[in-house]
A and B are shown apart, each in its own frame.
Chain A
Amino acid sequence: MMSKAAFTSGSLRYRLAVTLIGVVAVLTLLFYFVLRAYAAQIALQSQDNILNASVTAILDAAIIRDGVVKIDIPYAAFSMLNTETDDRVFYAIYQNSSLLSGYADLPFPQRESRMSNTYKSGVYLGVAIRQVTASRVLVGGDIRTRITATVAQTQDSLSGILQRIARNAALYGVGFFSLAVVLAIWATSSTIDPLKRLAESVARRGPQDLSPIVKPVPSEMTPLVSSLNSLMTRLDKSFSQSEEFIAEAAHRVRTPLATVRSHAEVTLQRVDKEENRQALRSMIRAIDESSRAAGQLLDHAMITFRANQLEYQAIDLVELARECVQRLTPMGDMRDVELRLETDTTVLVSGDAILIQNAVRNLMDNALKYSPVESVIIVKVRSEPSPHISIIDQGAGFPSDEMHALVARFTRGRNASGTIGSGLGLTIAQDVALAHDGTLNIGNTTEGGACVTFSF
């Protein structure tokens, strides 16, 4: 049977993998941006905290002495702002709205609430800064005054940290993505696997095997498998129907043919005229051919039927061969062909006796038909290397170029014209051999005769 390539439209595996990887890519990007935003927030928070501590330290150092505000800024107030990238520091201290000390032009944020500290990002001297402002009320004697301090810092260290985090996040993202791609590919192939296994198990089946698939499959595949099973059931039914039909037809044809043949033979005895006898002989010949073909069709139908349910029993191949030889010896005698048996004492095999008998008889029949007059057919039964029966004749042998085609149904060799036959003999033997997990080898001997070996 020729397998035709199916039309493909995309690949499930590819589609699944691309979808999974696409989803992972989107998630990875999302992860990267969320992480970066989060890190930026945390980094800014920590800078705010330090600036806050600095402002608090400055405000804490403020006192009123002799009616004058004095602020003895602690060394740590600025020293704590030291960063790896040596960020610049700016500050200003106001009493109410007049500058006490620091950078007069540092933008002074309008404070919304007097209670909480103000955090602000801005630009000073052309660079981005983060600024924290806080205030405190000082009371000394009859003076009540508000001191406001603002400390600002550039953001070199912050952007350095952010760059590092972004780089690390990108690295993690790439790692995560690669891992996910590997997992996606694995998940895809494990999902596709049952489909592949099903396809393989269907492809592995023999041509006669039309039994339903019973192995469990994933639920998504059950519609496919049940349609396949129902298709095979219908096919099987239709096959057996046609086999039954052939058997029935052959049987119906054979009986009347036998009647016609006996009538023809009786008539042959009575007719004297040579041309009439000649016609009758051709008639008998044609009847024989039809009857034989019908017999073989019947055999073949039986083999196809039995091959699916073999009845195994112990068989002695030697005994079986001897029986066949005895049965065919009269036919051989008619053409002076001797059937010679060369056997071991016993060769035991397990198989269906009726089928094997049928196969051997067909092979011997073939040998008889193609043997020249006054020749010998050797039937060998041996148990080594594996149990086998070889039938060797002294005929013309098989045409070497058609050797393999001959086992097909209704195929006859080129040199078969003039010989009665349906072309089913080798096919029957081949089917029986396959049903027993054996082989049928056909070939020619060195003298030119055909040699057919049926081995188990």
Chain B
Amino acid sequence: MRYILFLILALLLAPAFALDWEDQQLFEGNNGTQTLRVISNTDTAIFAPVIQSFLQSHPQLNIEYNVASSANVYSSFRSTPDAYDLVVSSAMDLQLKLVNDGFAQPIEDIAHPAWAKWRRSLFGFTLEPASIVINKAAFKGLPTPGSRQEMIEVLRENPEAFTGRIGTYDIRQSGLGYLFATQDARVSETYWRLTEIMGSLNTQLYCCSGDMIDELAKGTIAISYNVLGSYASARSDVADKIEVILPSDFHNTMMRTVLIAQTTQKTSAATLFLRHLISSRWSKPDTENVSLPPLTTQQDNSQRSIIALDPGLMVFLDAMKRKTFIDEWESAIIQQ
């Protein structure tokens, strides 16, 4: 009975969500009998090798992979938590809020560094820095900006070259963009000066990293700020046209996180997938088409400022705080 109700509900809601899906794909194991439903904001192209390496070792499972923007991942999972078994997102603040509000299941006995997990429910499995990506051709004859300050100088001195040719996240749409922006604003006042300059040069706003990189490669825009370097590096087709710069002053590093739905009936299968993700087995050198930088405990993390998984992340999710921040951001970036 419950199942039928759920089906009806799903059918009723389906059209509404169908509009928001960026992609939906079913990966089948060789003799898959159980299907794990994953909702994620990671592009299928980038995540597919991870799923495939999992299905090779667990052929009894299928994975239904649904891609939406991080904000949609959050709201869609929150409204129908029954519809998914795992949630993967780069928006750490939204993921943490899901756990805080009791939507995730604690998983015991997972060996993982304390800074990369929260409440035994949320597990980080990649380390991805926010970076500046430039079109090499557009910067011919211009100094390559190594930091935010240098970027401000380049933009200020060459307004004619960059007007309408700067890209960044529309933080009203992108959860990850909002996370990077708020964390930037916490770290340094430079963020606001940069945003002012970008606003004065009619900056283009994007929902997602993928679009930004496409435009960069085409040369429509010359520089983009706070893009995921991992996405740019993944695109071997455009590798010779663009350059990924990690700002030397500071670069916020995000963890892509995964949680298992509180309501799922497939905890053990979901735990297998979760273990696969955090084991970073999927990033062996031979699987060269995997471009996500895995979270490993061996690497030296002291130079990065990894966004901490703590309740502070919920501050910028407060409705009033968010409104204040976005108002301020809008007045800076939209000056027309």
Contacts and interface: CB of A to CB of B under 8 A. Distances in A.
A86 B315 contact: no
A78 to B, nearest CB: 4
B101 A125 contact: yes
Interface string A75-109: 11111011001111110010000001110000000
Interface in A53-90: 70-79, 81-82, 85-90
A72 B324 contact: yes
Interface in A345-368: none
A78 B321 contact: no
B311 A102 contact: no
Nearest to B117: A86
Given A89-B100, A102-B318, A82 B312 contact: yes
B118 A86 contact: yes
B320 interface: yes
A90 B100 CA distance: 8
A79 B315 contact: yes
B320 A70 contact: yes
A78 B119 CA distance: 16
Contacts of B101: 88, 125
Contact of B102 (A71, A81, A125): A125
A89 B321 contact: no
A81 B100 CA distance: 13
A366 to B, nearest CB: 98
Contacts of B311: 78-79, 81-82, 87-89
Contacts of B318: 71, 73, 101-102
Q: Assign chain A's interface to a size class.
A: 20 to 34
A70 B324 contact: yes
Contact of B119 (A88, A90, A126): A88
A89 B317 CA distance: 13
A70 B101 CA distance: 24
Given A74-B315, A86-B119, A79 B321 contact: no
B315 A77 contact: yes
B134 to A, nearest CB: 31
Interface in B294-327: 308-316, 318-321, 324
A90 B318 CA distance: 11
Interface in B3-36: none
A51 to B, nearest CB: 12
A77 B318 CA distance: 12
Interface in B183-208: 186
Contacts of A87: 311
B320 A78 contact: no
Interface in B114-148: 118-120
Contacts of A85: 119
Contacts of A77: 315
Contacts of B99: 88
B107 to A, nearest CB: 13
A257 B119 CA distance: 118
Given A75-B186, A78-B312, A82-B311, A101 B100 contact: no
B102 A78 contact: no
Most chain A CB within 10 A, of B99, B119, B314, B324, is at B314
Contacts of A101: 318-321
A408 B314 CA distance: 106
A76 B311 CA distance: 9
B124 to A, nearest CB: 13
A127 B315 CA distance: 22
Contacts of A72: 320-321, 324
Contacts of B102: 88, 125-127
A13 B131 CA distance: 81
Contact of B314 (A78, A93, A100, A127): A78
B324 A78 contact: no
A75 to B, nearest CB: 5
B315 A78 contact: yes
B320 A89 contact: no
A182 to B, nearest CB: 42
A102 B314 CA distance: 10
B92 to A, nearest CB: 13
A83 to B, nearest CB: 9
A79 B320 contact: no
Nearest to A125: B102
Contacts of A78: 310-315
B119 A71 contact: no
Contacts of B319: 101
Interface string B92-107: 0000000111100000
Interface string A203-238: 000000000000000000000000000000000000
Given A70-B324, A72-B321, A89-B100, A79 B118 contact: no
A82 B316 CA distance: 16
Contacts of A81: 311
A127 B119 CA distance: 14
Interface string A98-132: 00111000000000000000000000011100000
A88 B100 contact: yes
Given A86-B118, A101-B318, A125-B101, A79 B310 contact: yes
B103 to A, nearest CB: 10
Contacts of B120: 86
B315 A75 contact: yes
Interface string B151-192: 000000000000000000000000000000000001000000
Nearest to A82: B310
B321 A73 contact: yes
Query: Which 9 residue pairs are nearest across A and B when measured between Cβ atoms?
Result: A79-B312, A82-B310, A78-B311, A89-B311, A86-B119, A101-B320, A88-B100, A86-B118, A101-B319
Interface of A: 70-79, 81-82, 85-90, 93, 100-102, 125-127
19 contacts: A71-B318, A73-B321, A75-B315, A78-B313, A78-B314, A78-B315, A79-B308, A82-B311, A82-B312, A86-B118, A86-B309, A86-B310, A87-B311, A88-B119, A89-B311, A90-B100, A93-B320, A102-B318, A127-B102
Given A71-B321, A88-B100, 17 more contacts: A70-B320, A71-B318, A72-B321, A75-B315, A76-B312, A78-B312, A78-B314, A78-B315, A79-B308, A79-B310, A81-B311, A82-B308, A82-B310, A86-B118, A88-B119, A93-B320, A127-B102
